[in-house]
A and B are shown apart, each in its own frame.
Chain A
Amino acid sequence: MSLKRVLVGVKRVVDYAVRVRVAGDGSGVELANVKMSMNPFCEIACEEAIRLKEKGLCEEAVAVSIGPKQAQETLRSALAMGCDRAIHITTDARLDQGGLDPLAVAQLLQKIVEKEEPDLVLVGKQSIDGDHGTTAPMLAELLGWSQATFAASLNVDGGTAEVERETDAGTEVIKIQLPAVVSADLRLNAPRYPKLPNIMKAKKKPLEAIDAASLGVDLTPSIVVEGVAPPAARKAGVTVESVDDLVDKLKNEAAVL
């Protein structure tokens, strides 16, 4: 029995290689003229959904993103990777700080899940901007579904899935009932690069836009960002000439040995 539908959550974030700058007035991280990309963990979630399709374990992969109009680029990337169609929940709220609460994000996705009725929701384990890592468990709780977070491997078999999870001490394998929410860890897979013909084809795939405000979710933030500051800079260190020098400094100057 193959799954009817997998829903993949993808988020547009500041590219992982960008060194972010905090605005001089402490209002937040500067987003103007900064390179944006699909969140790396979302790429992994997306890749996994497409692999399920390619293995014949799932009929349709639907990508969903919450964000401003540029989030459509992220959805087009998901389509170019191999998703069948996309849903864009439109909002002008910032998604890295203060704009939408983690609960609101989960509630918006819940509405889409209720509409689309997927058998599996795949998301990344965290976004690299907000660093919350709360979407998968919160969505699973709202739906009353099973969850498997930090997935390092996923084996879907009919109405259940075996998931190897990364834990603090190593790994564990759990069996969950579908429908479920699974969050992807780094080592789940290596995402593919979309090829040019697929990028062209992606432009013709269906992309539906839904206004976030129309979904009946309270979007008023209850966690307000009062200010953003850069972390304290470390004082410049010294270069030592030899191992002897290093041992001496660690013993006598830093007193850590």
Chain B
Amino acid sequence: MLRHATGALRRVAARRQASTLILADHDGANMTPSTLAALTAASKLNETSAVLVAGAPSTVAEQAAKAQGVEAVFHVDAPPSAKGIASFVEKGGYSHVFAPVSNNTKDFVPRIAAALGVSPVTDICEVLNEDTFVRPFYAGNALATVKTTQSVTVATVRATAFEKVSEEGGAAGVEAASIDAAVAPELPEKISESSGDSERPDLTAARVVVSGGRGMGSGENFAMLEQLADKLGGAVGASRAAVDAGMVPNELQVGQTGKVVAPELYIAVGISGAIQHLSGMKDSKTIVAINKDAEAPIFQVADYGLVADLFEAVPELDAKL
């Protein structure tokens, strides 16, 4: 009993001490929904967190200020240097720095950790206490419980493993932060940018994902999946085989080296289910597999498997929804 009480007291003390800075992820115009999941991960340690919005217009900072559990928002327009953010973290006395996993944050978060002289804990999917986390490795085939003994915990958060806090209801103030801007050689010069302008929901945040693999045969055939996705209000994904064959652009790739998704419904069409693909979708709530090969590994994780020719089954499914 006493031991239990001491444990609880220690937890309360830890709660008071922990203060988390969330590095907001954004596309330059909007904060990503994944940032709301990072706020949930941080809420396991303390009730509120501060958010740093860097390299984005003030509209993104205003979005951050409205999110639940946000205590304060610090904003800086120009992309700051990693050293600048590191000294901001040190001055603010933060014990934790969290950011959601994205290609964007994978690019700069380790740099900030290096500037702080610590190792980042990447891709956490569970927060056990202020220094102990669970993270997947080996393409999600093993889960490691890791304890960090470092002065500051820098962690990236697997957004699909945490609920998102509400994007409304918070009323934090926005404060201008003074952080050194990045300068050459650190800061690259952007020459051009291309993005698949899609009307569909973002792949990582969609409620339904319809994915195609090598079995689709060609890029034109993906129109079938797009139509099905539109009907379900979902996004379209792909396996590496489909991307490598040039059927669809790279950013649609789901898997260990692509995006990790966990929608309510994942429909895998013509995908065999290699380890690397399963890694990116096996936490989906309901998985449907449509494949003509009854031996395909995808059927081992599918809740509902249909052994059929996709060119017949997909149009029929589309017609019956």
How far is A226 from B135 in the complex, measured between Cα atoms in Å?
12
Q: How many residues of B contact A (CB 8 A)?
A: 86
A238 at the interface (CB under 8 A from B): yes
Q: Are B121 and A223 within 8 A (Cβ)?
A: yes
* Chain B 80-118 interface 0/1 with A at a Cβ cutoff of 8 Å (1 = within): 001000000000000000000011101111111111011
How far is A199 from B11 in the complex, measured between Cα atoms in Å?
58
Task: Identify the closest chain B residue to A186 (Cβ).
Answer: B257
CB distance from B84 to the nearest CB of A (A): 12
Q: Are B146 and A226 within 8 A (Cβ)?
A: yes
A77 at the interface (CB under 8 A from B): no
Write out the residue numbers on chain B whose beta carbons fall within 8 Å of the beta carbon of A104: 119
Q: Are B193 and A170 within 8 A (Cβ)?
A: yes
How far is A85 from B137 in the complex, measured between Cα atoms in Å?
31
Q: Are B108 and A137 within 8 A (Cβ)?
A: yes
Q: Is the interface of B mostly helix, strand, loop or mixed?
A: mixed
B288 at the interface (CB under 8 A from A): yes
- B288 in complex: contacting residue of A16, A29, A128, A250, CB < 8 Å: A250
CB distance from B200 to the nearest CB of A (A): 13
Q: Are A240 and B304 within 8 A (Cβ)?
A: yes
Q: How many residues of A contact B (CB 8 A)?
A: 84
CB distance from A223 to the nearest CB of B (A): 5
Write out the residue numbers on chain A whose beta carbons fall within 8 Å of the beta carbon of B306: 239-240, 242-243, 245-246
Write out the residue numbers on chain B whose beta carbons fall within 8 Å of the beta carbon of A150: 103, 106-107
Q: Are A256 and B257 within 8 A (Cβ)?
A: no
Restricting to B179-212, which residues have a CB under 8 Å from any CB of A?
184-196, 204, 208
Q: Are B111 and A97 within 8 A (Cβ)?
A: no
Q: Are A254 and B185 within 8 A (Cβ)?
A: no
* Chain A 60-78 interface 0/1 with B at a Cβ cutoff of 8 Å (1 = within): 0000000000000000000
Q: Are B110 and A20 within 8 A (Cβ)?
A: no
How far is A180 from B321 in the complex, measured between Cα atoms in Å?
52
Q: Are A186 and B185 within 8 A (Cβ)?
A: no
Q: Are A187 and B107 within 8 A (Cβ)?
A: no
- A sample of 7 more A-B contacts (CB under 8 A), given A169-B196, A256-B286, is A29-B142, A97-B144, A102-B110, A103-B114, A133-B122, A137-B114, A250-B288
> Which A residues lie at the B interface, using CB under 8 A?
14, 16-17, 19-20, 22, 29, 41, 96-98, 101-104, 106, 125-126, 128-134, 136-142, 144-150, 152, 162-163, 166-177, 180, 185-187, 222-231, 234, 237-240, 242-247, 249-250, 254, 256-257
* Cβ-closest 8 pairs across A and B: A170-B195, A169-B195, A141-B114, A134-B110, A174-B188, A177-B185, A137-B110, A101-B119
